[in-house]
Amino acid sequence: MSATKFRFTEQAIEKLSGSEKRVRYYDAQMPGLIIDVLPSNKKTFRVYKKLPGTQKPLSVTIGTFPSISLEHARKQARKAMADIADGMNPNDSKRHFRAASVTLETVYESYKLSRKLKETTLRGYEQVMDCYFDDWAKKRLADLTETRIYRRHCELTKRSPAQADLAMRTLRALFNFARAEYKSSDGRTLFPHNPVTILSEKRCWNNVARKQTRLRPSQLQPFLKVVNEMRDEAMVLRQDFTATVCDFVEFMAFTGLRKTELLELEWKNVFLYDQLFCLDDTKNGQGLELPITKPLEEILKRRAEYRVSGFVFGADNHHGRVVEPKKIIKQMNERADVSFTLHDLRRTFCSVAETIGVGTYTLKRLLNHKTSRSDVTAGYTVLTAEELREPAEKICQRISEYAGFELDIPDKSMVKLTKQLKSLTKEQRVELMSVLIG
């Protein structure tokens, strides 16, 4: 009999010791029962046997020695071998047991670890779980039935239809994740049914309409007038945070960018000489290069003069930047007698662009909207800051006209000439002047 095959006894197993690599020993008394000995001297009982009609043996872990005795290991091995003889995989039973006991909280934590989530997205998920499913966190996913989900959606709808739908979309995503995460050995999911589908079957999704609010052309004048007045007052009174928020709001009005993307803009991504700036960490994960138009240039030069951190819209806090400008915006609304949100400025920018005939792909790029993979034309449309400069200037010009003041937009040829002159050395400039004078 070989050194790795012998009749298992407690004494014989105790004498086994780990070597440089794992060694597998076979029980001569019960074929199929094995013990693996690791270099760390950990000894694990397993059943190693083929399912009928298969080529590759199954490895079913029973437990470690001496935590379980040899007698107990043989007893468990007999059960496992009986299942295998009947064509059942004992490992599936264990998977089913684990899946049956998995909680909503466990699935949520696994979901977060499996994805690279932006800070704002993660914050939104945390809010949903804390506000709407805190009492379900320790419940088994298997216990979250259609009836429970339907009732919870009805309860939340009374408070906020939009938040009710948001909460259930999050729960639906967690069930879909569990369906892909927990599977049997043959690849079949252990969570075949998503109970959130009951909301579709009963047609009780609230489907809250997308907001259509924006600033009308007649509102742009009082809006921008108040922004300028509040900034001037804040600079005189050294209210740096208020002045920074005013610059941020005006910047949003002339770009239509998303709040967080703009607040996270760093000076290292601003290139005043080249008249462009870049956004790296965007909502759709794609970098964006945009031109610096005339209004933006004035704002950036002012922010550079009052620079307090590596962020363009910096602030004296542990973030180093403005995080939540709601209080200042509320003051703007009261003084201008208008009602706007930051996302209204994005819709306003988009609407103005549409009225002056800016192309669809150009506008998508300016707003950094993701195009569908099926849109082949979009894949061939590559727009850099230079291609976007003219339409961006036109949009700014129209917004300025609505606001009651004109922009002094330099001629494109003069801009190009100025850049060329700046690139010349002192000697080249002197030579050029002598040629022009002569």
pLDDT at 166 over 90: yes
Alpha helices in 26-145 (DSSP H): 70-85, 90-101, 104-114, 119-132
Q: What is the pLDDT of residue 121?
A: 84
pLDDT at 376 over 60: no
Residue 336 lies in a domain: yes
User: Both 131 and 234 in a single domain?
Assistant: no
- Of 275, 303, 304, nearest to 393 (Cα)? 275
Helix (H) or strand (E) holding 353: helix 342-355
Work out whether strand 23-27 and strand 43-49 pair parallel, antiparallel, or are unpaired: unpaired
Which residues on neighbouring strands pair with residue 35, listed in sequence order?
25, 45
CA-to-CA dists, residue 208 to 120, 161, 180, 204, angstroms: 22, 7, 29, 11
pLDDT at 100 over 90: no
111-140 pLDDT tens trace:
999 888 888 888 889 999 999 999 999 998
User: Both 402 and 414 in a single domain?
Assistant: no
337 versus 424: which is more confidently predicted? Answer: 337
Contact 70, 141 (CB under 8 A): no
Mean pLDDT of 30-57: 85
Q: Would you say the pTM of this structure is higher than 0.75?
A: no
106 versus 284: which is more confidently predicted? Answer: 106
Q: Please state, in angstroms and rounded to a whole number, the distance separating the CA atoms of residues 329 and 72.
A: 71
Mean pLDDT of 106-115: 90
Q: Please state, in angstroms and rounded to a whole number, the distance separating the CA atoms of residues 151 and 355.
A: 45
What mean pLDDT, rounded, does the chain reach?
85
Q: Please state, in angstroms and rounded to a whole number, the distance separating the CA atoms of residues 302 and 282.
A: 25
pLDDT at 63 over 80: yes
- Confidence band for 437, pLDDT divided at 50, 70 and 90: confident
Task: Give the count of domains, the chain.
Answer: 4
User: Both 252 and 398 in a single domain?
Assistant: yes
Cis peptide before 295 (omega within 30 of 0): no
The pLDDT > 90 percentage for the chain reads: 45
Mean pLDDT of 187-194: 80
Q: Please state, in angstroms and rounded to a whole number, the distance separating the CA atoms of residues 244 and 247.
A: 5
The DSSP string of 260-289 is HHHHT-BGGGEETTTTEEEE-S-TTS--EE
Q: What is the pLDDT of residue 83?
A: 78
- Confidence band for 185, pLDDT divided at 50, 70 and 90: low
350-371 pLDDT tens trace:
999 999 998 888 888 888 876 6
Query: End of a domain among 167, 201, 235?
Result: 201
Q: What is the pLDDT of residue 394?
A: 93
Contact 46, 36 (CB under 8 A): yes
Q: What is the pLDDT of residue 133?
A: 95
Structural tokens at position 127: 């809010």
User: Both 356 and 295 in a single domain?
Assistant: yes
6 versus 303: which is more confidently predicted? Answer: 303
User: Both 320 and 431 in a single domain?
Assistant: no
User: Both 292 and 347 in a single domain?
Assistant: yes
243-274 pLDDT tens trace:
999 999 999 999 999 898 899 999 999 999 88
77 versus 248: which is more confidently predicted? Answer: 248
Handedness of CA 119, 120, 122, 123 (dihedral sign): positive
Mean pLDDT of 273-289: 81
User: Both 122 and 253 in a single domain?
Assistant: no
- Confidence band for 153, pLDDT divided at 50, 70 and 90: very high
380-400 pLDDT tens trace:
566 778 889 999 999 999 999
Q: Please state, in angstroms and rounded to a whole number, the distance separating the CA atoms of residues 398 and 390.
A: 13
Q: Please state, in angstroms and rounded to a whole number, the distance separating the CA atoms of residues 32 and 25.
A: 10
- Of 265, 322, 312, nearest to 288 (Cα)? 265
Q: What are phi and psi of 359, to 5 degrees?
A: -60, 155
Mean pLDDT of 283-303: 87
Residue 210 lies in a domain: no
- Confidence band for 30, pLDDT divided at 50, 70 and 90: confident
Mean pLDDT of 174-179: 92
Q: What is the pLDDT of residue 364?
A: 86
User: Both 279 and 384 in a single domain?
Assistant: yes
Helix (H) or strand (E) holding 222: helix 217-236
Mean pLDDT of 9-28: 87
pLDDT at 219 over 60: yes
**Residue-range definition of the domain harbouring residue 430:** 408-438
pLDDT at 418 over 80: no
Q: What is the pLDDT of residue 276?
A: 93
Structural tokens at position 85: 């003889």
Query: End of a domain among 33, 58, 88?
Result: 88
Q: What is the pLDDT of residue 95?
A: 60
Query: End of a domain among 46, 66, 88?
Result: 88
Using alpha carbons only, what angle is made at residue 44 by residues 40 and 50, rounded to the nearest 5 degrees? 135
User: Both 419 and 287 in a single domain?
Assistant: no
- Of 223, 214, 212, nearest to 400 (Cα)? 223
CA-to-CA dists, residue 21 to 24, 32, 36, 38, 259, angstroms: 10, 21, 10, 6, 56
pLDDT at 321 over 90: yes
Q: Please state, in angstroms and rounded to a whole number, the distance separating the CA atoms of residues 244 and 235.
A: 9
Spell out the residues 6+ positions from residue 250 whose beta carbon is closer than 8 angstroms to its own. 224, 227, 228, 231, 295, 299
